[in-house]
Structure 1
């Protein structure tokens, strides 16, 4: 565990460093602890941010991690400019600061104020503050980032970056559900009715939204079981299996229940009294984002309970008046049935030390190679086969 200076010393040192590089900026670099979460909550209330950089997500993934969690707040002329919720992990001898939640965080966007100033100056101030307070951190790895969000450009892209290997797919709902049904084929409604009849014959079905802690636990238990079976089938390690990952997801969805319009929500399809499909989603002002999903590999799998639940979720999003249903990162056939928007995210790999700079350059090159491979179907199939043989 890295020794972290006291809160007062942290603030004084970080602020002094930033003033030396640019008089307009002041920074706070805080270890994950209740005062840091409170400060981040106040900061986020005055900024735009993705759900995966919001205060609920930050607390769920960083609580209890101390020096392994980091809240970085940048102010310009006393007003919130940019905030990041980060976790610090080791890669061999190198310490990396990445978005809280690691690979579970997608479509990321920092907490951003209305005026961050010139992006290069803001990033110089931010990196100077992190170097001053945490000289052990060698590299920033800010992956799967939106290039813009709610009309604001992402200033972290002033740092060295590349395009993410995987695209993100989403459905434009501005024309309503009838128009959404037309995209990717006109047979959606007929298929949906046929599946509904099959589910009625199998004991009836109902749609579930988790509204209590017990319902959250039930849907997550089912999801973890379904997803584990799927990873075994693929021959890949289960990224949801670690107990700390499951505990943090439970904490996140439990905490979200306190809001009138929860920022994170679980939906399920129950057939014959058993959960057959589950989605976990986040919300923005005008969209819903599917963060994860799974379906049971049982006697009803051939009737596509996962696609049935997506159909219902998209219809509900249209009824709510949302503009976008975001299927998140990854290109899959079931997403193509609905999606008419492709988004290229960005990966920032920026060195804060000499060895961090070397690693960052290598990771940017690797990301470019992965992206090129995924653009060629034969190469992509070969890569997937190799990944399964090597266990991820």
Structure 2
């Protein structure tokens, strides 16, 4: 991981030696319907992150006012990487970023695995140089929260890494089944707790593990999630990053119903005819990623409905053959109680203008500072207390963790 501004390299560093065998082209093209159809065909056969799934891209394009472009890399005449980006304005700059903004975690460009395996320093330099010299009307290409690998396949953009993302990602290894998970986390203690929760939920009217299978169910579960999450964010003094994207999430989960593998799914714990916890997850290959979750802060809060739903979701994922249940970015105690896999993600910031270079430097410095704060448990706890106190006193909200 390179913890430095890539823009700091001299022009000579980026040059490919004369007579080298590099044969790579890079282009940014408007992501119209024809390009998106070609992207869907390409992405179907290669590894990709959840936010690079065609359903995610198409849902965002249908509900966002952002202009979409496709970054496309070809090597020796064959397309080897396609990465949809959106053009946004931030603090007076024009930025090309991963589609989905802060909701896009574990980003991974749709790419030919053999390209990443054989990616040389020379090719990497040429890709970096091509981005910088492109005619893209932007100050900065910024792709944050990228996964280093998916399913054993390396991310070809890792060679361009500018800095490590502030938040770690936590996951559960399911390779040996749910029984092995219970053995690792303390089978006796975990099952005792689960039985106690089951008795309390039965006494409260019985419970059900629901999955949204129709558009009406998508609307119902998503509405419960937004209400629960909104209340939680208000109490924590955190900006509600879901408020402006309700239409996107509705489209994402509704469109997913029409896909053979149902890549995005909503689950809920229903107790006494009320939804007490909700999760939204992506299902790509043998990996299940919990993208978001919420709980109802009511009379059953002490029963830990979110933890109970996690138990059911992880058990179901293992039974369905998944090898990893990923809680995505963010380090929280409830995740640590399950997880045995810890990974980092990285950010790529390639400036195209002087203003983009200055902003990239600020972003990297801020990311480094966040990592230092979050790696200090005492300091991070203090920051969260101050944020809650400020919100309670003024009604203002702070920025979300990510």
Corresponding position of 1:92: 91
Corresponding position of 1:161: 162
Q: Structure 1 residue 119: deviation in Å?
A: 5.9
Moved over 6 A (4+): none
Q: Structure 1 residue 106: deviation in Å?
A: 0.7
Deviations 1:167-216 (A, max 9, x none): 01001111211121133334111111111111111111111111111111
Q: Check if 1:384 corresponds to 2:379.
A: no
TM-score, with normalisation over the residues of structure 2?
0.87
Q: Which residues in structure 2 correspond to 1:45-64 (within 5 Å)?
A: 45-63=44-62
Q: Check if 1:264 corresponds to 2:264.
A: yes
Q: Structure 1 residue 91: deviation in Å?
A: 1.9
Q: Could you tell me how far apart the structure 2 residues matched to 1:231 and 1:66 are? A: 26
Q: Could you tell me how far apart the structure 1 residues matched to 2:194 and 2:77 are? A: 54
Q: 1:366 to 1:229 in 2, by over 3 A?
A: same
Q: Check if 1:111 corresponds to 2:113.
A: no
Q: Is the contact made by 1:74 and 1:80 (CA closer than 8 Å) also made in structure 2?
A: yes
Q: Structure 1 residue 122: deviation in Å?
A: 5.0
Deviations 1:56-93 (A, max 9, x none): 11111123657622222222123221111111222222
How many residues align? The count is 370
Q: Which residues in structure 2 correspond to 1:319-334 (within 5 Å)?
A: 319-334=319-334
Q: Is the contact made by 1:31 and 1:66 (CA closer than 8 Å) also made in structure 2?
A: no
Corresponding position of 1:291: 291
* Structure 2 unaligned spans of 5+: 1-19, 391-395
Q: Structure 1 residue 217: deviation in Å?
A: 0.8
Corresponding position of 1:8: none
Q: Structure 1 residue 121: deviation in Å?
A: 2.3
Q: Could you tell me how far apart the structure 1 residues matched to 2:129 and 2:254 are? A: 34
Q: Could you tell me how far apart the structure 1 residues matched to 2:219 and 2:125 are? A: 40
RMSD (Å) for aligned C-alpha atoms: 2.1
Corresponding position of 1:14: none
Ranked by relative contact order (alpha carbons within 8 Å, sequence separation 6 or more), the top structure is: 2
TM-score, with normalisation over the residues of structure 1?
0.89
Corresponding position of 1:306: 306
Q: Which residues in structure 2 correspond to 1:266-285 (within 5 Å)?
A: 266-285=266-285
Q: 1:216 to 1:119 in 2, by over 3 A?
A: farther
Q: 1:25 to 1:65 in 2, by over 3 A?
A: farther
Deviations 1:207-248 (A, max 9, x none): 111111111111101100110010111112111111xx1101
Corresponding position of 1:176: 177
Q: Structure 1 residue 45: deviation in Å?
A: 2.2
Q: 1:185 to 1:77 in 2, by over 3 A?
A: same
Q: Structure 1 residue 157: deviation in Å?
A: 2.3
* Among 179, 198, 203, the residue aligned to 1:201: 203
* Structure 1 unaligned spans of 5+: 1-20
